[in-house]
Amino acid sequence: MRRSKTVRARSVTAVALLASCAAVLGTGGPQGAVLPVAAARTAVAPQAQQQEQDEPCDVYRSVPPSGEDGPAVKAIKAKRSLVIGIDLNSYRWGARNPNTGQLEGFDIDLARAIGTAIMGDPDKVVLKSVPTADRVQFIKDGKVDLIVRTMTITCKRMEDVAFSRPYFNISQRVVVPKSSPAKNLDEALKDRTVCAAAGSSAVEALKGRPVRQLVTPENNLDCLVLMQLGKVEATMTDDVLAASQAAQDQTVRVVDGEIQPGVMGVAMLRTSPDLTARVNQVLADYYASGGWRGAYDRWLKPYLLNDADHYWPAAH
């Protein structure tokens, strides 16, 4: 509740921003898929903007939770395995530990919790790596039943796939070396060489800001490499990945201040609302039982600036 109010309040002050930012926020994976978002703020005609405002998509909206097994859930149970798409490259979210070969992270815990709750047996849950760019296609092709992979809910994606209720709040943050004197986001960016993953929402968020130079490598971790090598002074990326960067390098920190808030959800086929309802039920139970907070404490707490409540999207 509290969270959604903040979002709404911002959207009132910045006209058309929320409508477009949902689209702008279209990335959030470690790679960041390229979206044709540039038009949202600049090139779109006033009339089109008006329409977007009249018909805003609600990224918080999903089917009501239900513990019933509908036809889609029954079909999955009949094939005796639930296939969940995950990431291998987002540290502390979904990553393969190179030394143990184990999958670990916040999203992995959530995926296992959902799988076990639905199938009743962890052995019937299959975790499958999904390339960032193919996430939507994998669902449409039925290669995976669900995707739990730092996936931002956007209006554009909602046209292709169904999302659960959001399970994490994210926004754009700035990472700087600990030696930087910057106290807030503006100071950290002004007249600096700033890095952001190509095609990510961070690049959009940086438009019009007085940075000295913008460097856009392929991946947000490339920004951390460049920062360690002294080639960039600040990196803009979302909470999720900022936390992941701070976790991998103790000499960088996330500065105060955030822009462009959004939410992450579990994606699945639009044609199986009963599965979505079931996932929503599991999410509600997961939070109520303390599973969400446990995973948060285990994977993310040391690296995020705010307390856990800040990141849980309140019921809508």
Contact residues toward another protein (CB under 8 A) are 30-31, 83, 85, 88-91, 95-99, 101, 126, 128-133, 143-144, 218-219, 221-222, 224-226, 228, 244-245, 248-249
Q: How far is the CB of 189 from another protein (least distance, A)?
A: 22
**Rounded distance between C-alpha atoms, residue 242 and residue 306, angstroms:** 13
Is 194 strand, coil or helix?
strand
CA–CA gap between residue 280 and residue 195 (Å, rounded): 36
User: Judged by CB, which is closer to another protein: 25, or 241?
Assistant: 241
Task: Give 283's contacts (C-beta < 8 A, 6+ positions apart).
Answer: 65, 114, 164, 165, 167, 266
What is the C-alpha separation between 265 and 252, in angstroms, rounded? 28
Shortest Cβ 32–another protein spacing (Å):
10
Question: Can you point out the beta strands (E) in the chain?
Answer: 82-86, 89-90, 94-96, 103-104, 125-129, 146-147, 162-163, 168-177, 193-195, 213-215, 234-238, 252-254, 259-264, 267-268
Please say which residue, 30 or 262, places its beta carbon nearer to another protein. Answer: 30
Cβ closer to another protein: 66 or 248? 248
How far apart are the C-alpha atoms of 256 and 153, rounded to whole Å? Answer: 24
Q: What 3-state DSSP class applies to 179?
A: coil
Q: CA 32, CA 151: separation in Å to the nearest integer?
A: 10
Most distant CA pair in the chain: distance in Å? 59
Q: Which is nearer to another protein, 83 or 255 (CB)?
A: 83
Minimal distance, residue 260 CB to another protein, in Å: 22
Q: Which is nearer to another protein, 219 or 272 (CB)?
A: 219
CB 204 within 8 A of CB 23: no
Least CB distance from residue 76 to another protein, whole Å? 16
Q: Which two tokens stand for residue 273?
A: 């609302």
Distance in Å, CB of 132 to another protein, minimum:
6
Nearer to another protein, 18 or 136 (CB): 136
Asked if 67 and 278 touch (Cβ cutoff 8 Å), the reply is yes
Using alpha carbons, select from 195, 261, 308 the residue that is nearest to residue 14. Answer: 261
CB of 199 to another protein, least distance (A): 12
Cβ proximity to another protein, 131 vs 291, nearer residue: 131
In whole angstroms, how close is the CB of 273 to another protein at the nearest point? Answer: 25
Nearer to another protein, 39 or 126 (CB): 126
Least spacing, CB of residue 121 vs another protein, in Å? 20
